[in-house]
A and B are shown apart, each in its own frame.
Chain A
Amino acid sequence: MSAGTDVTTADERILQTSPLRKLLGRPELGSVVGAIAVFVFFAFFADSFLQAASLSTVLYAASTIGIMAVPVALLMIGGEFDLSAGVMVTSSALVSSMFSYQMTANVWVGVGVSLLVTLVIGAFNGFMLTRTELPSFIITLGTFLMLTGLNLGFTKLIDGTVSTKSIADMEGFPSARDVFASTITVGGVGFKVTILWWLALVAVASWILLRTRAGNWIFAVGGNKDAARAVGVPVTRTKIGLYMGVGFGAWISGQHLLFSYDVVQSGEGVGNELIYIIAAVIGGCLITGGYGSAVGSAVGAFIFGMTSKGIVFAEWNPDWFKFFLGAMLLLATLLNAWVRKRAEATK
C-alpha cells in the first residue's frame, strides 16, 4: 500500500459517521426499543389499552414519575443520585399548604415559599456533598430520613393531625389549580396538565444538556470529577445546581399533589425516589454517571407508566402485580442494555 492512497484513514476525530450510526449511539435508543416492545405487548394483551382515554391515563401516570425523572436523570449523568427526592415532593406540598393556611395567605404565597424551601433543601444536599465529599448515598439518605421526620413532626405540630387542612376555599386556589392540576380536553379526552409540565421539563433539560456550557459541565463531572476540575469545570457549582434542579422538580410535583387533592397526607412519598431512579436507568442513564439523556428518562417514565397501568388494563391477577412489574422492568432494562451493546459494537 502506497502513502498516496492513504486519504481514507484520516484522523478518527473528524471521521464522518452515517446518520444511522449516530442514532444507534444515542443513550435512549435501547429504552425506545423497550418502550415499543412494552407498548406492543399490552396492545396485544389488554383490550382497552389502545383507547384514547386509556392512553391519557398512562400518560398521566408516566408524567407524575417523569417530572421527577428528568432532574434525577440529570443528577445521575452528573454522577450522583438523590434518595430524598420522593419525600421532598411531599415536603413541597406540605410547606405550601401549611404556610398558606397558617398565615391565612393567598395560596400563591405558599407556592412561592415552597419553591424557596425545596431549592434550599436541594442546595443543602449539594453543599453537604461537595463539602464533606461523602458519598451521595449517605448524604441524601440522611436528608431522606430527616425530611420524613420533619414532614410528620411539623404537620402534627401545626395541624394537630397527620394530614393538612383543606385549602380549597382559600384565595388563589382556583388559579393555582389551573396551573398545576387542571385537565385539558382534546377531542373529548381529558389530558392532565402534568403532561405539559413533563414535556417542557424534558425540552429544557435536553437543551441544557446538549446546547449549553452547563450541559458539558454535567457530562464532565459525571465522567471524571478530577479531570473536569483540572480543565476548569466548576464541579461544586455544577453539583449544587443539579441538586437544586431536583428540588425544582419536587416543587412542581408537590404542587400538583397539593392542588389536585387539596389535602396532603404527611406520610406519603416514601419509596418513590427509587421509582424515579429506575425510570432514569431504564432510559439509559448509567448509575456510574457521565452518560444518559433527558429524553431517555421520559421514555423510562413512559415504560413505567405503561407497565403499572397495563397490568390493570390486562386484568391480571393482582396478587402477582409486583412480580409482573419487576419482570417487565428487568426485561426492558436488559433489552436496553443489549441494544446499546450492539450499537457500540457497530461503531
Chain B
Amino acid sequence: MARFRTWVGIALAGALSVSLAGCSSTGGKRAEDARKAASAQGQAAVNTPRWTFAMITHSGDGDTFWDIVQSGAEQAAVKDNINFLYSHDDEAQQQAQLVNAAIDKKVDGIIVTLAKPDAMKSALDRARKAGIPVITVNSGSEESKAFGALTHVGQDETIAGEAVGEELNERGREQALCVLHEQGNVGHEQRCDGVEKTFDGKVQRLYVNGTSMPDVQSAIEAKLQTDKAVDAVVTLGAPYADTAVKAKQGAGSEAEIDTFDLNAKVAAGLADGTLGFAVDQQPYLQGYEAVDLLWLNKYNADVLGGGRPVLTGPQIITKDDAAALSEYTERGTR
C-alpha cells in the first residue's frame, strides 16, 4: 500500500509539473478571459413580481441548437425578473409528463415545443383549464393556435428549406446533397422537402449516424466519391458543416458546403470561404422572445402577432455577415 501511495504521489507531482511547464502562449482560456474582460453581468430591469416560467423542449442531450435557445430564454428571464425552469426530453410522452409536472407546480407560464403535437395535446388542454398561458416555440406553428397557445415563435422548417433551395439556384448549383443526421426526425425531412420544392436541380438525401463524426465524414466522402455530379452539400446542423468540409477534401470534390444553423466554426468557415452560406433560424430569439412575450402577457395582456406565428427565420448568412457574427457565436448566443 505504501508503495502504491508513493507511485500515486510521483504521478501527481509529475502531472502537476508538466502542466506548469507546458503552458501554451497562444489561445486557450487566458486569451478568452482577456477578450471578455469588460462583460457585465445582467440584472432585472423590471420590478414585476417574480413569476415562474417553465420551458419544456423536445431536445436531446447536448444539442448545440437548444443550448442557444435556452441561453436566450435565460437572459430574458434575468431581465424580466422571472424564475426560469428548463427541462427537455426527446421522447414525446416524457415531454408531455414534464409539461404536466409544470402544471402541477402551478407555474405562471409555459413555453413548449410541439415536435410531436398529438402527444402534447392533452397536456396543453390541462394547462388551458388551469389558466396557465402557453407559448409554443420552434416546431408546431400549425397546431399552436388550435391547442390554445397565445402565440407561436419559430421558423417554419419547410420555408427554411425553400430559402436554401432558392439560394442554391442563385448560386447556379445543379445537384444538391441533403445530409440528415437523425433518421426519422420530421423537422429534418421538412427541411429537405423545402429544398426540393424550390431548387431547380436534383436533390438527394444521405442519412448519417449523427453520434459519430468519423462516420458522418466517411459517409459524405463515400457519397462524393461515387457521385461526382454533386456540387452542393447541405448539412442540417452546424457541427456537421465542418465535417462535410473535411469529407469534401478527402474526396477531392469541388462541391460547395452550405448548412442550416450557426456556430463559431460555421461563422469562421463563412468568413474564410470554406462554406457557402448558412440559413439561421435564430434560436436565441426563440427562447428570448418566448419568455419576453409571456412576461408582456402577464404584465400588459399583450399578444404579439395577433395569435399568428412570429417567424424568427430563415435568415441567409453569407461571407459578408459572418465577421460581424463571430463574436456572438463565440459566446454561444448566435
- Which residues does A use to contact B, with CB under 8 Å? 46-48, 51, 53-54, 56-58, 60-61, 64, 99-109, 112-113, 116, 148, 151-152, 155-156, 160-163, 165-172, 183, 190, 256-257, 260-261, 263, 265-272, 305, 308-309, 312-313, 315, 318, 321-322
Tell whether B62 is near chain A: CB-to-CB under 8 Å: yes
Tell whether B151 is near chain A: CB-to-CB under 8 Å: no
Asked if residues B226 and A312 are in contact (CB atoms below 8 Å), the reply is yes
Complex partner residue of A105 from B23, B60, B243, B263, CB under 8 angstroms: B23
Smallest beta-carbon distance A60→chain B, Å: 5
The number of residue pairs between A and B whose CB atoms lie closer than 8 Å in the complex comes to: 172
Other than the known A57-B225, A170-B24, what 11 A-B pairs have Cβ atoms closer than 8 Å? A57-B251, A61-B214, A102-B29, A104-B30, A105-B19, A162-B63, A165-B32, A169-B27, A257-B213, A265-B239, A312-B226
Complex partner residue of A265 from B15, B27, B62, B251, CB under 8 angstroms: B62
Question: Complex: how many Å from CA A267 to CA B62?
Answer: 5
Question: Complex: how many Å from CA A322 to CA B214?
Answer: 18
Complex partner residue of A53 from B24, B211, B251, CB under 8 angstroms: B251
Smallest beta-carbon distance B212→chain A, Å: 6
Cβ-closest chain B residue relative to A109: B22
Complex partner residue of B15 from A113, A151, A269, CB under 8 angstroms: A113
Chain A neighbourhood of B183, CB < 8 A: 321-322
Asked if residues B222 and A103 are in contact (CB atoms below 8 Å), the reply is no
| A308 touching B28 in the complex, CB below 8 Å, given contacts A112-B15, A112-B18, A152-B62 | no
Asked if residues B60 and A267 are in contact (CB atoms below 8 Å), the reply is yes
Number of chain B residues close to chain A: CB under 8 A: 52
Asked if residues B22 and A308 are in contact (CB atoms below 8 Å), the reply is no
Complex partner residue of B211 from A58, A64, A163, A268, CB under 8 angstroms: A268
Asked if residues A263 and B265 are in contact (CB atoms below 8 Å), the reply is yes
Asked if residues B214 and A64 are in contact (CB atoms below 8 Å), the reply is yes
Smallest beta-carbon distance A118→chain B, Å: 14
| A170 touching B219 in the complex, CB below 8 Å, given contacts A161-B64, A312-B226 | no
Cβ-closest chain A residue relative to B66: A162
| 7 A-B residue pairings within 8 Å (CB atoms) | A51-B225, A54-B226, A101-B27, A105-B23, A160-B332, A162-B62, A260-B214
Question: Complex: how many Å from CA A106 to CA B28?
Answer: 9
Chain B neighbourhood of A272, CB < 8 A: 211-212
Asked if residues B61 and A148 are in contact (CB atoms below 8 Å), the reply is yes
Smallest beta-carbon distance A146→chain B, Å: 13
Cβ-closest chain B residue relative to A60: B218
Complex partner residue of B218 from A57, A112, A160, A265, CB under 8 angstroms: A57
Asked if residues A190 and B239 are in contact (CB atoms below 8 Å), the reply is no
Contact bitstring B2-28, A, C-beta under 8 A = 1, else 0:
000000000100010011001111111
Question: Complex: how many Å from CA A57 to CA B218?
Answer: 6
Asked if residues B246 and A61 are in contact (CB atoms below 8 Å), the reply is no
Complex partner residue of A100 from B28, B32, B263, CB under 8 angstroms: B28
| A167 touching B28 in the complex, CB below 8 Å, given contacts A116-B15, A160-B332 | yes
Question: Complex: how many Å from CA A170 to CA B60?
Answer: 31
Smallest beta-carbon distance A267→chain B, Å: 3
